[in-house]
A and B are shown apart, each in its own frame.
Chain A
Amino acid sequence: MNTQVIIDASYLAAAFLFIFGLKRMSSPVTARSGIVVAGLGMLVATLASFLYVFGIHGEAQPHLTTNVILAAAALAIGTGWAWWSGKKVAMTAMPQMVALYNGMGGGAAAAIAAVELLRTSAVHETVSLVVTIIGALIGAISLAGSLIAWAKLDGKINGTWRIKGQQAFNGLVFLSTLALGMYIVFGAQGHAPVGLVAAFFIGALIFGVLMTMPIGGADMPVVISLYNAFTGLAVGFEGYVLQNPALMIAGMVVGSAGTLLTLLMAKAMNRSVANVIFSNFGATGDEQQGEIKGSMKPAEAGDAAVNMRYASKVIIAPGYGLAVAQAQHKLFEFVKLLSEAGVDVKFAIHPVAGRMPGHMNVLLAEAGVPYDMIYDLEDINGEFKEADVAIVIGANDTVNPAARTNKSSPIYGMPILNVDQAKQVYVIKRGQGKGYSGVENELFFADNCNLVYGDALKVMVSMIQAVKSLEGGH
């Protein structure tokens, strides 16, 4: 039987399994089986690819043994390293790992394009060449950009790097790279010298670095999501070049899904994607604000805990600060105590809490919080009015009522959790600092708000003790 038919059938199966798997991943009930289904598709497609050895170009025949050994070695090393690193990474570090793996995919797409462009013997069609170049450009940008995103999130690069006229400089690098790409396609008809092809890739990589360097850590969720979409598109385009439907379908599905996710994320921050990439948000956030009335009132952790123990409804608004303090397990222990005492406890998650879309949900899930206690912003915002206590842990801008009321505020218009509408608000905070936007939070000065100062982990421990000693007194 023709091996090509087996390969094609495997790709069809893989495409089906990917889409079916992703579909199952879109509900918490079936999500676990979804990734297994998609994984099966990957296994089928990868194994089938070894059948390529029966249909390779005549010229590559003498190199076959070396190439097969190289392929097996690369598969083993890549899979082994990624498997090991993926198993040991902490949940808080997940966003940078996803960024890293994503960059690798972009790099692989760029590598395919490079091999195609260097294959001097091949006859290149113009359309195919254009697609190769575009895929190469996007893939290389995604590789370099994802690596920078990874380094930033991992704390290897601190702060942002901005120079005067940076956008003009970036534009110049991009246009030069594009011009090189156009020369390779239309000038050299795909038979450009190795040096030019290398220059094209180096230009694309430099642009990826330049584009990501000025973006602050807090905007990384949007950026990672964007590069995820980029890699998907690059893979889809290289799939066209290789006439491989599995790559075309999988790449384009991810490209469009990733684009949508990026837009959703940006919308949750009330900013456009262009604004995230080209503006210097956070650097110029100290414009004069209106006078805020009232004062910050401190509260003891124990008092706050007792107050919650005798409340009938408590809503918790966690932010990334909770995860930084590693307090999510203690928080859930406290929540369980409250639930056992008959208190209705819910978690309210802002779409941009954490460092990746939905990152907070994962961190809470890690602590064992069942997903049906966790609510999205739209679903919970109406309930704050009925809540006796709202407690904010390690969040700031996402609960700032200025986003609703103060038109001059830089965060005006951003959807927020309406914690200020609860009867009593507690904010657990390390100090009196501002959120990443540099905006003072009116919530902290409100009459119904008290601040519990301290490390989130220590505060949770004393809250648990307070409630437990209460139970012991019976």
Chain B
Amino acid sequence: MDLTVTLTGFVALYIFMLAAFTGYEIIGRVPAILHTPLMSGSNFVHGIVVVGAMFALLNATSTVEQVIGFFGVLLGAGNAAGGYVVTERMLEMFKPSDKKTGEKPAK
């Protein structure tokens, strides 16, 4: 079975179009309270670029390509890991009040 597809021409345009609508719909109804974590979260998601950079580096044939590829992977990995850590740290702080109201009243 051959599962190879070429993502050119209209197929690529369809993918781009549907993905663009998906992004629009996801953000469109988000309360402002989550804008920062969500921006940080989407910042994390484009860290997937590290995968493309790995492809470029693994297929590098000259020193120049290796150097650029190395930095590509380095930067991409930083984007992904950093984006994940700060998003998780921010979301960890969002708690509803039912956990708080149980606290002992102050003296």
Contacts and interface: CB of A to CB of B under 8 A. Distances in A.
A38 B50 CA distance: 15
B57 A35 contact: no
Nearest to B17: A252
B92 A257 contact: no
Contacts, number: 411
A245 B8 CA distance: 11
A349 B42 contact: no
A398 interface: no
Nearest to A72: B73
A232 B83 CA distance: 13
Interface in A49-65: 49-50, 52-53, 56-57, 59-60, 63-64
Contact of B68 (A53, A111, A351): A111
Interface of A: 2, 4-5, 8, 11, 14, 18-19, 21-23, 25-29, 31-32, 34-36, 38-39, 42, 45-46, 49-50, 52-53, 56-57, 59-60, 63-64, 66-68, 70-71, 73-75, 77-83, 85-87, 89, 91, 94-95, 97-98, 100-102, 104-105, 107-109, 111-112, 114-116, 118-119, 121, 127, 194, 224-225, 228, 231-232, 235-236, 238-240, 242-258, 260-261, 264-265, 336-337, 340, 349, 351, 354, 356-359, 361-362, 365-366, 368, 370-374, 376-377, 468
Contacts of B26: 19, 22-23, 26, 253, 257
A204 B75 CA distance: 18
A22 B41 contact: yes
Contact of A77 (B52, B66, B74, B87): B74
B53 A108 contact: yes
B88 A358 contact: no
A101 B86 contact: yes
Given A19-B22, A35-B87, A112 B52 contact: yes
Contacts of B88: 32, 35-36, 39
12 contacts: A22-B45, A35-B91, A67-B66, A82-B81, A246-B48, A251-B19, A253-B45, A261-B39, A354-B36, A357-B36, A358-B36, A368-B100
A28 B75 contact: no
A371 B52 contact: no
Nearest to B6: A243
A70 B66 contact: yes
A189 to B, nearest CB: 18
